[in-house]
């Protein structure tokens, strides 16, 4: 276990062991992974006036993960067109999908965040963000090719049923945007209310089509609220279609 010589304390060794047990590798730069599992609610406590959290890694990981999934789908479905590939990628990297993966991997036991009375509800939102940040950390630590192999072999092939995703999952925001483009409607997502502050903020999003209000929903992430509001709106439109 010579890998453990590079880790300075028990917390680092525990985190490295967790990553190895789930993904089969030991980090080179453990600091990247510590940062990946640090939610912004802890940033003030850790650094005073300097904000240190996983938000920047989340930004990077989002782009890397999207690229990996796009490449994987491009190779897996050589005859499918752009629309199909885009929709499948959207389903795989959706907040709901990444939240489920993070829960399955046990990320909630590793994330450093302020545990309030509603911690469980917030984790439902920050799990997917942490997964993206983790992907960003792997990319910086090991490079794109290594990250691609980890995501494809240890995540997609082991924990995602691509055929099931193709048949069953629905990205209502994508469906709504496609519908609006096809029939020349203007669609807009507006934050109509916020509750709480900083990491404790709840977003209330409403869908507007040609300036008329439709579905409204709330979530601790804007993406999550948009998806829920899109689903409500789509069901309203379906009723209109039937009339």
**What span, in angstroms and rounded, lies between the C-alpha atoms of 177 and 190?**
15
Looking at 106-155, list the stretches that DSSP marks H as alpha helix, in order from N- to C-terminal side: 119-142, 144-151
211 is catalytic: no
* Active-site annotation holder among 62, 87, 141, 231: 62
Q: Tokens 């890694």 label which residue?
A: 57
How far is CA 4 from each of CA 14, 15, 147, rounded to the nearest angstrom?
Answer: 10, 11, 21
- Pull the structure tokens for residue 159: 């924990």
* Active-site annotation holder among 58, 132, 141, 231: 132
**What's the chain's Rg over C-alpha atoms?**
20
**DSSP-derived secondary structure letter, 112:** B
- Pick from 102, 98, 107, 103: nearest CA to 37: 107
Q: Please give the full DSSP string across 145-199, using - where no structure is assigned.
A: HHHHHHHIIIIIHHH--HHHHHHH---HHHHHHHHHHHTT--EEEEEEEEESSGG
Q: Tokens 């890998």 label which residue?
A: 3
62 is catalytic: yes
Residue 36 near residue 133, CB atoms below 8 Å = yes
Question: Catalytic residues, which ones?
Answer: 62, 132
């Amino acid at each position: 276990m010579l890998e453990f010589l590079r880790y300075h304390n028990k917390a680092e060794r525990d985190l490295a062991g967790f990553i190895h047990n789930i993904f089969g590798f030991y980090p080179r730069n453990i600091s990247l992974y510590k940062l990946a599992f640090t939610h912004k609610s802890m940033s003030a406590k850790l650094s005073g006036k300097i904000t240190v959290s996983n938000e920047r890694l989340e930004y990077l990981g989002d782009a890397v993960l999207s690229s990996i999934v796009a490449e994987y789908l491009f190779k897996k479905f050589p005859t499918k067109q752009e629309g199909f590939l885009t929709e499948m990628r959207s389903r795989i990297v959706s907040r709901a999908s990444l939240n489920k993966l993070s829960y399955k991997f046990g990320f909630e036991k590793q994330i450093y965040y302020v545990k309030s009375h509603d911690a469980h509800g917030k984790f439902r939102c920050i799990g997917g963000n942490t997964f993206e940040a983790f992907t960003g950390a792997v990319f910086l630590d090991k490079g794109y090719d290594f990250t691609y192999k980890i995501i494809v072999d240890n995540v997609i092939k082991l924990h995602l049923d691509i055929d099931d995703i193709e048949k069953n999952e629905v990205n209502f925001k994508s469906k709504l945007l496609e519908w609006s483009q096809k029939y020349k409607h203007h669609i807009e997502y507006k934050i109509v209310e916020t509750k709480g502050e900083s990491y404790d903020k709840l977003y209330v999003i409403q869908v507007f089509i040609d300036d008329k209000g439709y579905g409204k929903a709330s979530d601790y992430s804007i993406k999550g609220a948009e998806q829920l509001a899109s689903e409500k709106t789509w069901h309203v439109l379906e009723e209109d279609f039937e009339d």
